[in-house]
A and B are shown apart, each in its own frame.
Chain A
């Protein structure tokens, strides 16, 4: 260890000191503090680390899952909303990003740079600023409804419409509400089957619009690493375009596809900024997500223990999803 390199021990620690100090103080320590607070009924008054704060044990957690009441109902509603949101956003943005990348990558087309820039730009702008723009576009007499009316469709009042997409579909098919008496976790089966609300659809479209560009750039980079000879060999063997895509290009893109889907899953469970700016969980709690609910519970209802508990459950969901997905792809390899 000595010799020409000298003793690097002090220098090493000196160099990492600022990073260790700040990450420790504003990431590790806060997580431990929040873990404690999630076991209390702290209401924001004074310090949560004194004997005066009532200890709640696991109450804040059991209230989310087993105790009947508004807390559980709100939490389960937020899980439902976020699950539908994930279910729509992840596949749509992945397919859109892949499709755009395949077209932009086409050797016969010019202007690759321009289109790549155009598709990528939305993802570098501020989520708050862009939410303001979409709020205007989805306003009652706004741009989206103006476009819809060109096709003879009367657009909904996006941000005040709590009707679920699946419920609307059932209504169209003439199916009357069913399974409204039984259910799990404080919501009836019928409520679980609502689909994303019309308001949520506006937020879904905003998020797909902002993130597709980033993922498209990832696919583009991966596509450029696919050897041209591979595709040409496929052409010589008489494979048509679809077969070449299915059997030659897509297998090459698998690692990227995995990355895009995982990043999508992790990101979509964290949706917060757009909800805060555009809907605050309204209408009728149909855009409430766990991230926003945890914020609201702590900072508006001053129930910090419950808010922190929701954060940790969300934390767990994200970690578990990542692990499951990793395992699934590993097994298929």
Chain B
């Protein structure tokens, strides 16, 4: 009995310690966004700003390119997410269900592409954008991200796990491939589509390296690129940590909200990763 109590107490102590380790940096971030620069420098650990200042937050909107970056981020993420979900479900469905020549070959190619580490694509992507005249444009920022190999794979796996009986009934009714995909298959795939949408949105919202090699005009920056630019000294004098932390905070909020609302989908995805092993 005593052993159970001690181990329970110890368990909670460890969990609470690590909860602090994992969450307190966000507390620091929020608190310091509302501090004066001097206060942030003197009391970086304190969770309470004294006095509360909103100067930095105002300057984020008035003194930096933040509004532009925010607009670009919304545009890019929405278009990229729509494209990824649409193209991944189409390709995933075809690879799982439709019989056509070259299917096995394409699936092999897809697996190979999933193994290509994104960072080694930095120079290659720049070369192709440069060659096609898409460098430094919205097209260059968006089009290369429109298809995600992993997304196609996830959708193929999903369709593999769904019994074909429903489709067969529709097929007897004489539905063509496209009509069947649209009115029978997609409604059935809703849970997978929601998961994919969330993952692709957070992925494109947080995307950084691609913006480095596709655009250089500050008017085309997304939030991660803009933030990186703030940090590397485009602000001028001083460290201006409250401003930087505030901008990083604002950039994190959309993903945080989505995470809290759709948490189970995130967890399910990571768990699916475990099953693959």
Contact = CB atoms under 8 A, between A and B. Distances in A.
B4 A108 contact: yes
Contacts of B128: 25-26, 29-30, 33
Contacts of B276: 259
B18 A314 contact: no
Contacts of B231: 131-132, 135, 277
Contacts of A129: 224, 227, 248-249, 251-252
A319 B115 contact: yes
Interface string A110-151: 010011111111101111111111111101011100110000
B154 interface: no
A218 B271 contact: yes
Among B28, B120, B128, B228, residue most surrounded by chain A Cβ atoms (within 10 Å): B120
Contacts of A34: 123-124, 127
Nearest to A263: B273
Interface residues of B, number: 103
A8 B100 contact: yes
B248 A132 contact: yes
Contact of B208 (A16, A127, A258): A127
B256 interface: yes
B147 interface: yes
A132 B255 CA distance: 16
Given A104-B15, A139-B239, A117 B123 contact: no
Contacts of B21: 209
Interface in A302-323: 304, 307-308, 311-312, 314-315, 318-319, 322
A22 B146 contact: yes
* Size bin of chain A's contact surface: 35 or more
Interface stretch (A71-79, A186-194, A264-272): A264-272
A158 interface: no
Contact of A26 (B28, B130, B144, B252): B144
B190 interface: no
A103 B14 contact: yes
A12 B94 contact: yes
B32 interface: yes
A34 B129 CA distance: 12
Given A19-B87, A125-B256, A126-B205, A103 B101 contact: no
A242 interface: no
Contact of A30 (B95, B121, B267): B121
B274 A295 contact: no
Contacts of A203: none
Contact of A115 (B19, B110, B273): B19
Interface string A1-27: 100111011011111101110110111
Nearest to A129: B248
Contact of A19 (B14, B143, B152): B152
Contacts of A124: 202, 255, 259, 266
Contacts of B86: 18
Interface in B88-119: 88, 90-91, 93-95, 98-103, 106, 110, 113, 115-119
Contacts of A173: none
Given A133-B248, A277-B228, A318-B120, 18 more contacts: A11-B178, A18-B91, A22-B144, A27-B116, A33-B124, A47-B131, A100-B15, A109-B15, A121-B23, A121-B259, A125-B252, A125-B256, A127-B208, A137-B44, A218-B270, A221-B270, A291-B120, A311-B122
26 contacts: A12-B100, A14-B178, A15-B91, A15-B181, A18-B87, A19-B152, A23-B110, A26-B125, A30-B125, A31-B121, A100-B18, A103-B15, A122-B22, A127-B208, A128-B228, A129-B227, A141-B42, A143-B45, A209-B22, A217-B271, A218-B274, A258-B277, A263-B273, A280-B232, A291-B119, A308-B124
The 6 closest A-B pairs by CB, nearest first: A12-B100, A30-B124, A259-B277, A221-B271, A15-B94, A11-B177
